[in-house]
């Protein structure tokens, strides 16, 4: 028993304490959080824009076509752009997108974290857009009609009435998307970014002992997801209270 | 202005695909009129009232409101909707806002009123319908009758020239119908122009000064409530009334 325990201590010391290798994990964790955080924000912004364009086109195409003019042409154009974006981004693996960004599109820059933020943000935006569009569609049609009947424009009605209600509907799904994103960033090591997974792997490569660093990485991911889930649950409860 | 009708339609048609829901509707509504539209379900009553403020785009025909053809694609419909209050069967209060915000949103965003001014109007109207103490509540905390009274207040806060009611009591529990009808009756007494799609025949007889009987997408019969309910002229109106009275 004590021998087993002493082995464990030695392993721990070898993998984390010697040469301050625990700081690698922290550096990696920092990058993982940085990439995830800004990619989430980018994803939400892109998602709202794309979802609004697509649902504006879907709801208003009949009446706009009838009225004709520049507005219909503009919205049709943006709708096509959005569809291409969704098809390409959702049709290719994120690792491939990351490598294309890093080695081709942004080959002039070696700021890996920034490139990762852009790539994961653009990638997440496609999924978030479809989540939001589903949410917009499931807000009762009467809400939009009531807004329009009062003289509010379509955009005003969306901003003040439909989108706030949409957020509440999509929150659980959105939370799920962010959990996926957090773990997806673990492929950042492919282009040499030192994220949490890469840090663990570097330690493993140095010490030739796999158990400690990989389990540590797994536990850290797990704790972050548990914490995040807990926060979202709290937020959901708060939102639900607001209309009771 | 006085000799022009407030709203008039010319050969108004609406199709949903192959289904012709409105067939050449011609009607004029003068300022101060209270018009009740009745008829069996599926007759096109709701579609008719929803086309009046272009919630449904007409397939053909024209709608003139305050002398302007609002079916003209070049006009800004929001400007005209401001002046047409609408009350829905399902209330459609904004679920994400308090009662007060529901009422003040459009006056502030559309008419660019200051918050204080919009709230003053809101409080005045809330007092009138007896719901002043509900200003800070959310719609989900209200009963159906309360929701509908708030919905009426929300429309009135824009100071509309006409109020359109689309079956305002059909989604209510029977004991709440009265409180909503009372509010509408008060409005009629104040001289508000109103178009009301309703199944409440007693109410139509009492409040309306004109009854339109609609069936199968056309106005079958029109008249004062007294003459319509006591001596309907057409067979269809007779059989409809015999079924419901």
pLDDT over threshold 70, residue A241: no
Comparing CB atoms, the residue among B73, B81, B92 nearest residue A151 is B81
Beta bridge partners of B194: B34, B163
Comparing CB atoms, the residue among A66, A164, A242 nearest residue B73 is A66
Comparing CB atoms, the residue among A146, A151, A165 nearest residue B110 is A151
**Which residues of A fall within a CB distance of 8 Å from B110?**
150-152, 156
pLDDT at A152: 95
**B81·A149 Cβ contact <8 A:** yes
Report ipTM (2 d.p.): 0.91
Q: A150 to each of A147, A203, A214, B74, how far by Cα in Å?
A: 5, 63, 59, 20
Within a 10 A sphere around the Cβ of B221, how many other Cβ atoms? Answer: 21
**CA A61, A63, A69, A70 torsion: positive or negative?**
negative
pLDDT at A221: 96
Q: pLDDT tens, A70-129?
A: 888 898 999 999 999 999 999 999 999 999 999 999 999 889 999 999 999 999 999 999
Quote the distance between the C-alpha of residue A77 and its chain's center.
26
Pairing of strands B218-223, B210-215: antiparallel
B61, containing H or E segment:
strand B60-65
Q: Which of these, B199, B176, B184, lies nearest to B153 by C-alpha position?
A: B184
**A146·B105 Cβ contact <8 A:** no
Q: Which of these, A235, A88, A105, lies nearest to A170 by C-alpha position?
A: A235
Q: Name the pTM for this structure.
A: 0.84
* CA separation for the pair B79, B106 (Å, rounded): 12
Give the count of alpha carbons within 13 A of B171, CB side only: 17
Q: A52 to each of A71, A75, A128, A133, how far by Cα in Å?
A: 15, 11, 12, 7
A18 confidence band (pLDDT: 50, 70, 90): confident
Could you say which residues from 35 to 64 on chain A have a Cβ atom under 8 Å away from some Cβ of chain B?
62-63
Minimal-distance CA residue of chain A relative to B49: A149
**Which residues of A fall within a CB distance of 8 Å from B139?**
243
Enumerate residue ranges in chain B where pLDDT < 50: 1
**B57·A62 Cβ contact <8 A:** yes
Interface membership of A241 toward B (CB under 8 Å) = no
Q: Which of these, A15, A150, A167, A155, lies nearest to B82 by C-alpha position?
A: A150
B209, containing H or E segment:
none
**CA A184, A188, A190, A191 torsion: positive or negative?**
positive
Token output for B232: 């309907």
8 Å CB contact between A151 and B158: yes
**CA A63, A65, A70, A75 torsion: positive or negative?**
positive
**Best mutation target, A151, A239, A243, to test chain B (most B CBs within 10 A):** A151
pLDDT at B1: 43
Q: Which residues lie below 8 Å from residue B137, measured CB to CB, with a gap of 6+?
A: B98, B99
Residue with tokens 């009274």: B149
**B155·A150 Cβ contact <8 A:** yes
CA angle A61, A64, A67 (to 5 degrees): 150
Q: pLDDT tens, B50-88?
A: 999 999 989 999 999 999 999 988 888 999 999 999 999
Comparing CB atoms, the residue among A147, A149, A160 nearest residue B53 is A149
The side-by-side arrangement of strands in the sheet containing B7-16 is B19-29, B7-16, B60-65, B68-69
> In terms of C-beta density within 10 A (0-12 exposed, 13-18 middle, 19 or more buried), how is residue B3 classed?
exposed
d(CA A164, nearest CA chain B) in Å: 7
**Which residues of A fall within a CB distance of 8 Å from B104?**
none
8 Å CB contact between A187 and A112: no
**Best mutation target, A147, A149, A156, A242, to test chain B (most B CBs within 10 A):** A149
A30 confidence band (pLDDT: 50, 70, 90): very high
Q: pLDDT tens, A57-74?
A: 988 887 777 777 788 889
Minimal-distance CA residue of chain A relative to B158: A150
Q: pLDDT tens, B119-144?
A: 999 999 999 999 999 999 999 999 99
Which DSSP string corresponds to B99-154?
HHHHHHHHHHHTS---HHHHHHHHHHHHHHTT-GGGTTS-GGGS-HHHHHHHHHHH
8 Å CB contact between A227 and A33: no
Token output for A98: 């990351």
Beta bridge partners of B163: B85, B194
**Best mutation target, B83, B84, B92, B138, to test chain A (most A CBs within 10 A):** B92
Interface membership of B105 toward A (CB under 8 Å) = yes
Q: What is the rounded average pLDDT for all residues in chain A?
A: 91
């Amino acid at each position: 028993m004590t021998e087993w325990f002493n082995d464990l201590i030695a392993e721990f010391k070898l993998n984390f304490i010697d040469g301050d290798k625990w700081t690698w994990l922290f550096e990696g964790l920092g990058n993982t959080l940085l990439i995830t955080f800004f990619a989430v924000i980018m994803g939400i912004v892109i998602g709202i824009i794309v979802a609004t364009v697509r649902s504006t086109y879907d709801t208003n195409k009949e009446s706009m076509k009838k009225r004709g003019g520049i507005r219909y042409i503009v919205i049709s154009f943006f709708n096509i752009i959005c569809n291409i974006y969704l098809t390409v981004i959702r049709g290719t693996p994120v690792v491939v997108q990351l490598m294309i960004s890093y080695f081709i599109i942004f080959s002039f820059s070696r700021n890996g974290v920034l490139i990762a933020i852009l790539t994961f943000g653009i990638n997440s935006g496609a999924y978030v857009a479809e989540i939001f569009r589903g949410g917009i569609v499931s807000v009762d049609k009467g809400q939009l009609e009531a807004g329009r009947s009062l003289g509010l424009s379509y955009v005003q009605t969306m901003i003040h009435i439909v989108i706030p209600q949409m957020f509440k509907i999509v929150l659980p799904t959105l939370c799920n998307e962010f959990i996926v994103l957090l773990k997806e960033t673990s492929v950042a090591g492919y282009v040499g970014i030192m994220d949490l997974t890469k840090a663990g792997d570097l330690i493993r490569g140095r010490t030739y002992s796999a158990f400690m660093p990989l389990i540590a990485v797994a536990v850290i991911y797990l704790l972050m997801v548990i914490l995040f889930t807990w926060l979202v649950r709290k937020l959901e409860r708060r939102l639900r209270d607001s209309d009771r | 202005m006085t000799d022009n009708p407030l709203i008039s339609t010319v050969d108004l048609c609406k199709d949903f695909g192959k289904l012709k829901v409105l067939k050449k509707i011609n009607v004029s509504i003068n300022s101060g009129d209270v018009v009740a539209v009745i008829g069996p379900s599926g007759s096109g009553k709701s579609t008719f009232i929803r086309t009046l403020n272009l919630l449904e785009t007409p397939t053909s025909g024209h709608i003139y409101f305050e002398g302007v053809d609002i079916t003209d694609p070049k006009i800004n419909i929001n400007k005209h909707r401001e002046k047409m209050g609408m009350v829905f069967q399902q209330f459609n209060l904004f679920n994400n806002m308090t009662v007060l915000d529901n009422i003040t949103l459009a006056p502030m965003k559309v008419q660019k009123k200051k918050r204080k001014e919009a709230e003053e109007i809101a409080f005045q109207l809330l007092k009138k319908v007896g719901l002043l103490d509900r200003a800070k509540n959310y719609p989900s905390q209200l009963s159906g009758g309360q929701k509908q009274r708030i919905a009426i207040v929300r429309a009135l806060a824009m100071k509309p020239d006409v109020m359109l009611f689309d079956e305002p009591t059909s989604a209510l529990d029977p004991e709440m119908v009265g409180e909503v009808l009372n509010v509408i009756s008060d409005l009629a007494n104040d001289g508000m122009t109103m178009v009301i799609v309703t199944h409440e025949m007693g109410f139509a007889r009492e409040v309306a000064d004109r009854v339109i009987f609609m069936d199968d997408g056309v106005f079958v019969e029109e008249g004062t409530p007294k003459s319509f309910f006591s001596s309907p002229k057409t067979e269809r109106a007779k059989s409809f009334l015999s079924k419901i009275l």
